[in-house]
Amino acid sequence: MAYKVLALQVNAPAVTVLSSRDDAEAHMLATIDRLDRQLTATLNQAGRDVLLVVTPEAFLTGAPGTESIDEWRDKACLEIDGRIYETLSAMVQRHQVYFSGNAYEQDPYFPELFFQTSFLIGPNGDVLLRYRRLNATGIPTPHDVWGLYLDAYGYDSLFPVAKTNIGNLACLAGDDLLYPEVARCLTMRGAEVLLHAAAESYSPVPPYRSMVRQVRAAETMSYVVSANLAGLTESPVPLAGGGSKIVDPRGLVLADAGHGENLSVIADIDLAALRELRQRPAATNLPAQLRTELYAESYTQHAVYPSGTLLSQTPDRQQNLRTQQEVVRKLYA
């Protein structure tokens, strides 16, 4: 099977400048309405074989500014069964695509926190997976409430893969792409297309983040679809985004973008070719040569960043930096 995927490079509103949840939700709904019109125009031009759409990181709100965890959760974080998800679901059903988004989200098991969540909505409007960002600075992660998170959701919830009729799809968010373990854990569970939501500055001189997209694709023999923000509107801190990219399982760039909004980062996903490539013994078939026993003991013996750091203190956004300071002191004392 072959189909087309679209990496949307769009602006996000900076709701950090707003004072109330009502204002923030109004901006989110306006963003969805604009996105709906953009998708209509793009799909009419690109054709109905575009079956998968990937949006950037925090495409509805932008990132938090100076807000505390409580303030950002109450103002800008989605309710799992709230009207923002309902509106997104209706839009996806109208377009009959698979839709990958990324947002800050409340969680009933952790009412004092929020998580950054990448989600996948199917053509019937159902949410097929939720992936919580695992590596972040300034926002809570499942690792920060490790034991309770595993009790609530189980270990496999950390690396969800949706098996669909357009392949096995998985999400990553932000800097998670910089950690090879995340992509490997997803492909170990069958992922074939990695959907990456990013919010990064872009330069015509390729930064390491840009090159990592190709490395992750080649080392996991997966398609990587990375949608980056074009910029932030109404933000006190400008973001010159761009550089969205679609990479094939050999690490070859199929489509990319420069600066600014771009609705034409489109490429073919060829599942038959991917599966044939993965089943071919070769020096370049790295997943088939992953010798996990070589590394497991080293990870066990050398724990670095501690888990559960938010279980014993009042959550605040500086916790990560304080923990890093302690880790660095121990590593290089």
Instruction: Give 227-274 pLDDT, tens digit per residue.
Output: 999 888 777 777 778 889 999 999 999 999 988 888 889 999 999 999
The yes-or-no verdict on residue 294 having pLDDT over 90 is yes
Pick the CATH number of 2-303 from 3.60.110.10, 1.10.20.140, 3.40.50.920, 3.30.360.10: 3.60.110.10
pTM of the model: 0.95
Distance (Å, whole) CA 160 – CA 264: 28
Residue 233 confidence (pLDDT) = 79
CA proximity to 31, closest of 8, 48, 4, 52: 8
- Rounded to an integer, what distance in angstroms lies between the CA atom of residue 119 and that of residue 250? 26
User: What is the DSSP-derived secondary structure letter of residue 125?
Assistant: S
pLDDT score for 153: 97
Q: Any bridge partners for residue 256, and if so which?
A: 245
Residue given tokens 């002191």 in the structure block: 329
How far is Cα 101 from Cα 93, in angstroms, rounded to an integer? 15
Report the C-alpha gap between 234 and 12 in whole angstroms: 9
Task: List the chain domain ranges.
Answer: 2-303
Distances (CA, A) of 287 to 6, 124, 135: 26, 33, 23
Going by DSSP bridges, is the β-strand pair 231-233/11-13 parallel, antiparallel, or unpaired? parallel
Q: How much is the average pLDDT of 208-217?
A: 91
Tokens 């009933």 found at: 108
Beta-carbon contacts of 32 under 8 Å, excluding residues fewer than 6 positions away, are 60, 84, 87, 88, 91
H helices within 176-292, ranges in order? 180-188, 208-220, 271-278
